[in-house]
Chains A and B, each alone.
Chain A
Amino acid sequence: MEILMIVTSGVIIAVGVYLLMTRSILRVVFGIVMLAHGAHLLILTLSGLQQGAPPLLTEEAASYADPLPQAVILTAIVISFGITAFLLVLSYRTYKVHQTDDLEELRGNADE
């Protein structure tokens, strides 16, 4: 199952990178969201899948899933949520000011 998940997260990340390179601001935000998903899945997969009980001591199992990557991912989920929210509002603002969501039109002069 690890290899399947690694490939899946690789595909998600590739799609995220592809979206980052598109012209529409919203798609760039999609790209960020996808990158985050791929990264989270990858970290979890690399720590080993389905080895032991959930990391709750109340389960009283012989072994537990590794809690440390989960803590890291939890932090990452929250941070990426913050970024997504900020980027969304930023794109809203950009559209309000410039009346375009096309990054090609939004680019500055070459001299700047």
Chain B
Amino acid sequence: MSTLHFVALAPFIMAVLIPVFYFKFRKIHTGWFVLPLPLVLFLYLLTYIPAGGDPMNPVLNSVPWVPSLGIDFTVYLDGLSLLFSLLITGIGTLVVLYSIYYIANKNGEPLHNFYVYLLMFMGAMLGVVLSDNLIVLYVFWELTSLASSLLIAYWFHKEKSRYGALKSMLITVTGGFSMLAGFSFLYVLTGSFSIQEIIAAAGTISGEPLFITAMLLILVGAFTKSAQFPFHIWLPDAMEAPTPVSAYLHSATMVKAGLYLVARMTPVFGMLTEWFWILVIFGLTTLLWGSISAVRQTDLKGLLAFSTISQLGLIMSLLGMSSAAMHYGAAGSEALYTTAALAAVFHLINHATFKGSLFMVVGIIDHETGTRDIRKLGGLMTIMPVTFTVSLIGLASMAGLPPFNGFLSKEMFFTASLNVASMDILNLETLGFFIPVAAWTASVFTFLYCMIMFVRTFTGKFKPDNYEKHVHEAPAGLLVSPIILGGLVILFGMFPNLLAYTIIEPTMQSILPGLLNGGEQFYVNIYHWHGINAEIMMTIGVVFAGAAITLNLKKWQQTFFFNRERDPLNAVYDSMLDNLVTGSQIVTRAQMTGRLRDYMVYMSVFISALGLWTFFRYDSFAVDIGAQTPVPVYMYIITAVLLISTLALPFVTHRITNIVLIGVVGFIIALLFVIFRAPDLALTQLLVETVVVVLFLLVYRHLPEIKKESVKGWSHAVNAIVAASVGIFVILAGLSVHAMRTASDITPISDFFIENSYTLAGGKNMVNVILVDFRGLDTLLEVLVLGIAALGVVTLVKHRMKGDEDV
């Protein structure tokens, strides 16, 4: 157990203590107790950053969990894990601080719920990024889905919250299942759940047919989590969560788990052509779809949600492009090929900073004005100057304007797309041209929605009548976190090389490990001015095109796609859910008829079919006619009487005849017990049979005559066939058991009882000794069963119901 294990487990331990803090210190906001934890974890994780530009040495530490199945809680900290852990704890600290002011400790707000879920998420997410074992990763992965769902439904009295929670749960957990299947395939191929071992074995298994299936299944998991088209529809509905949650889970960390997984799996699957194209195509589609959809949102959080979707698509496509470097072997470590990986990592960091600050700003606007609807907002520039400044920084960065960090990564995105388009592998020479085109088009829309958010919220005329409360600047506590993030946006924009060899290069090593020899490093140097080149022209084009559309916004808003705010793919999800419900009802109604007879038929058919199939499958039917005790003549007579009485039973409707037949069968069974050397059974059977007959007679007094069965003919036939098949199965099974028993010459375990019943239990009647001594507890429980039955009988007879009860 290393300290890193505790890093992942600490939030869970803290979560257990939260109710104590909440109920013991009601006056103090529970968030203050939570705040130190992510801060300490963040500072601790900072110590892992390689000093002085040296390459990072990954840390590996394993604790056995289920060793027999190869499942160990192995923590593995390399550049990629470190980057994510820092994001989780760093943004986590800011979000907790922000939430203290956002969710007020009054009106019985269930703060303990909030922080327990939040800590559960934090621990689970740290577990995902620190775990080297796929099964452990999966467990934590599903825990993040659960925590996310619980947080979305935090205000569960709202219908939309519950809808959003259910939706995110269904989509991400379905993806998680698919991912688990993919992991299992990888285990089948490599015999290991360890990611590092799978990476080492990747070269030898890449030809297997299961390999591509595993890749597809894992990608479904990553795509659902990271809200990639067409699974992105859960993210806008997740915006019902409190804004700190949206800033934390649904923009900075959890939705990036899919990106993490893809980056983690790049060394495994990166050589596949399918990997490159699936990631690039789905990433770019998501990028375009998200940015176009964001433009038509009227809810600020909805706009940011679609913006997040599109940015996730951007990073996803960059991760796909970065896998192209692997096709060049050692030459792939040149900057021409690694720009995509660099851009992916850098943009991931930048997105966390500017999107985190923007979500918090939107939260502030919502908090202070009571609305997030851009049709009502306007002119907040002078009313909320600090909020406005932070938004401006975040929006400029998101739009890709200098000197902010978003500009740098967007330039790199263009560079990477141009580089990839000029490659001569993977059919890129014919199809590659569309990558920069899509990148540029999406950037125009990105610029556009940034402009819309800016123009509609902050400029224009301030109309006090639109708001239910008095609008003023937010309190300082609420502003601290977005200001810090906004500060980082500027810091990383001005001095991007702060990150170069501390975070970015180690992360690139994790994504593209095979390209370098030990000790070598990728060349990372990020700077603003590259001279007049294609990228800068593209950026200028984006600004002009975006500005032109913004100026004519009124005209654009008449067009078709502006009029529908909800994503058209929601209809698919909703109808699937509806059909699931109606489909289940149809299936249920088809079999749950409420008829005892039908259930009996199901069970009988199933049992006899299962039994007969087993005989057939294992060829286990056997008959041994030879090994028999001789049959005395009187046995034929007794058996004949028994069979006649039995077979007559279904045909007789006269009640007394029925009871006579039942009695005859019972007493003949008792007689058979005598013949077969079972005196105790015979005695019991005689006694029980007498009582049963008396009972039947008693009940007859109150029950009507048995009517002749009045059902359709074929129903009788079905019953008869089903009953006969059960009988045949019993006979076949009996014959086989008998043959096997005589053939294999087994010694029955009852020799023990014969030898020991007197010495151990002091009784000479072995059956009795077994019942009351060797198996005494069974008999005790049997008595209990009889007692319950007797109680039931008494209740049913004595309890007088009035007749209008729902029985």
* Residues of chain A having any CB pair with chain B under 8 Å: 1-15, 17-28, 30, 33-34, 37-38, 40-42, 44-58, 64-71, 73-75, 77-79, 81-86, 88-93, 95-98, 101-104, 107-112
Contact = CB atoms under 8 A, between A and B. Distances in A.
B703 A15 contact: no
B748 A84 contact: no
B734 A9 contact: yes
B758 A57 contact: yes
A34 to B, nearest CB: 7
B268 to A, nearest CB: 51
A108 B594 contact: yes
Q: Which 10 A-B pairs have the closest CB atoms?
A: A14-B727, A10-B731, A18-B723, A107-B594, A67-B766, A6-B734, A57-B764, A82-B789, A71-B770, A68-B750
B81 to A, nearest CB: 53
B803 A65 contact: no
A55 B792 contact: no
A56 B801 CA distance: 51
Interface of B: 589, 592-597, 600-601, 604, 625, 628-631, 635, 639, 642-643, 646-647, 649-650, 655, 658, 662, 665-666, 669, 672-673, 675-681, 684-685, 688, 691-692, 695-696, 699, 702-704, 706-707, 709-711, 719-720, 722-724, 726-728, 730-731, 734-735, 737-738, 741, 748-750, 753-754, 757-758, 764-767, 770-771, 775, 778-779, 782, 785-786, 789-790, 792-793, 796-797, 801, 803, 807
Nearest to A55: B766
A4 B640 CA distance: 11
A68 B749 contact: yes
Contacts of B595: 103-104, 107
B730 A42 contact: yes
A21 B597 contact: yes
A7 B778 CA distance: 30
B685 to A, nearest CB: 6
A93 B807 CA distance: 11
A77 B706 contact: no
B731 A77 contact: no
A19 B101 CA distance: 72
A6 B15 CA distance: 63
B677 A97 contact: no
Given A13-B727, A77-B684, A70 B678 contact: yes
Given A15-B646, A15-B649, 16 more contacts: A1-B629, A5-B672, A10-B727, A15-B727, A22-B650, A27-B706, A34-B665, A56-B764, A67-B757, A84-B692, A85-B789, A96-B702, A107-B593, A107-B594, A110-B592, A110-B593
A24 B707 contact: yes
Contact of B754 (A18, A55, A79, A109): A55
B734 A45 contact: yes
Nearest to A54: B677
Contact of A97 (B720, B734, B803): B803
Nearest to A65: B677
Contacts of B748: 47, 66, 68
Given A1-B631, A1-B635, A24-B706, A92 B796 contact: yes
Main secondary structure of the interface of B (DSSP, over half): helix
Nearest to B774: A71
A56 B631 contact: no
Contacts of A83: 789
A2 B719 contact: no
Given A9-B734, A67-B770, A85-B789, A53 B677 contact: yes
A4 B635 contact: yes
Contacts of A2: 628-629, 738
A41 to B, nearest CB: 6
Contact of A3 (B625, B685, B719): B625
Nearest to B772: A71
Given A27-B706, A53-B677, A55-B754, A82 B723 contact: no
Contact of A7 (B592, B731, B792): B731
6 contacts: A14-B723, A14-B724, A21-B723, A55-B765, A78-B782, A103-B595
A86 B635 contact: no
Contact of B677 (A4, A12, A52, A68): A52
Contacts of A89: 699, 792-793, 796-797
A30 B666 CA distance: 11
B646 A57 contact: no
A86 B792 contact: yes
A97 B806 CA distance: 10
Contact of A91 (B649, B681, B703, B726): B703
A78 B767 contact: no
Nearest to A64: B754
Contact of B727 (A11, A24, A41): A11
Contacts of A92: 699, 702-703, 796-797
A56 B720 CA distance: 42
Contacts of A110: 589, 592-594
A29 B706 CA distance: 12
Contacts of A19: 649-650
Contacts of A44: 672-673, 676, 678, 681
A46 B735 CA distance: 9
Contacts of B786: 78-79, 82
A90 B750 contact: no
A33 B688 CA distance: 11
A30 B660 CA distance: 12
A67 B753 contact: yes
A92 to B, nearest CB: 5
B703 A41 contact: no
A30 B662 contact: yes
Contacts of A12: 642, 646, 665
Contacts of B672: 5, 41, 44
Given A92-B699, A95-B703, A3 B628 contact: yes
A54 B639 CA distance: 22
Contacts of A48: 741
B281 to A, nearest CB: 47
Nearest to A37: B669
A65 B676 contact: yes
A5 B753 CA distance: 26
A9 B696 CA distance: 23
Contacts of A57: 757-758, 764-766
B122 to A, nearest CB: 45
A71 B704 CA distance: 38
Contact of B680 (A23, A58, A70): A70
Nearest to B725: A14
Given A30-B662, A64-B754, A17 B604 contact: yes
Contacts of A91: 699, 703
A3 B738 contact: yes
B711 A70 contact: no
Contacts of A108: 594
Given A8-B643, A21-B597, A68-B750, A1 B628 contact: yes
Nearest to B601: A21
Given A6-B735, A37-B666, A91-B703, A85 B695 contact: yes
A8 B597 contact: no
